[in-house]
């Protein structure tokens, strides 16, 4: 149920955010975590130009097939909601390299143990290339730092806690529109 509330919140944010955003993008993302394998997911990015070179960004993505490793093996769904800043170097009209970072809340759900959402941070670097006056394609690399603790009951006898390090590299490919 929480996942659907988060999705609803993102849809509302996207619908209202398009009014104040200066860019909207759709991404395909690959995330390789330390303790939960890797997965591909779909994501969205809203950008708001704070200055000619600085953007405020809201990023969301959904990964549903991460597989936690350790004493207990279980599937993990992750829904990163991130807020950050990016600095655009704007070296030419043909390409725009950028770097940035920010904080995130990572809504987590596991099939089996209880896995609460966690806060973390991310760093990003990428390049976008205009393909027309308003449309662009981009590629970016991210590093996410997030750790969680799964808890499960061993048939009522004891509480099992398992540390889960979801930190790791991610790679996004996307298309966006900027106005």
pLDDT at 20 (0 to 100): 62
pTM of the model: 0.87
Residue 80 has pLDDT above 60, yes or no: yes
- Between CA 74 and CA 85 the distance in angstroms is 34
Q: What is the rounded CA–CA span in Å between residue 10 and residue 141?
A: 23
Percent of the chain with pLDDT over 70: 84
pLDDT of residue 97: 97
* Contact indicator for 78, 42 with CB cutoff of 8 Å: no
Judged against a pLDDT cut of 90, whether residue 73 lies above it is answered with no
Pick from 148, 149, 51: nearest CA to 105: 148
Q: Higher model confidence: residue 157 or residue 111?
A: 111
* Choice among 19-23, 112-116, 125-129, 173-177 with the minimum mean pLDDT: 19-23
Residue 70 reports pLDDT greater than 90: no
Residue 11 or 151, more confident: 151
Q: Smallest Cα–Cα separation from 66: which of 161, 160, 150, 154? A: 150
Determine how β-strand 159-165 pairs with β-strand 168-178: unpaired
| Average pLDDT of the chain to the nearest whole number | 87
Q: Quick one: pLDDT at residue 33?
A: 93
């Amino acid at each position: 149920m929480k996942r659907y509330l988060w999705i609803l919140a993102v849809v509302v944010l996207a619908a209202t955010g398009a009014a104040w955003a200066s860019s909207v993008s759709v991404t395909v993302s690959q995330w390789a975590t330390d303790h939960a394998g890797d997965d591909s997911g779909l994501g969205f990015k809203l950008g708001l130009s704070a200055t000619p070179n600085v953007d405020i960004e809201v990023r969301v993505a959904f990964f549903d097939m991460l597989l936690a490793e350790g004493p207990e093996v279980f599937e993990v769904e992750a829904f990163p909601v991130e807020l950050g800043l990016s600095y655009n170097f704007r070296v030419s009209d043909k390409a725009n390299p950028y770097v940035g970072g920010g904080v995130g809340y990572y809504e987590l759900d596991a099939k089996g143990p209880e896995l609460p959402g966690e806060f973390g941070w991310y760093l990003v670097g990428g390049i976008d290339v205009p393909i027309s006056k308003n449309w662009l394609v981009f590629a970016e690399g991210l590093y996410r730092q997030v750790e969680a603790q799964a808890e499960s009951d061993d048939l009522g006898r004891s509480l099992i806690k398992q540390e889960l390090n979801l930190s790791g590299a991610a790679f996004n490919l996307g298309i966006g529109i900027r106005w």
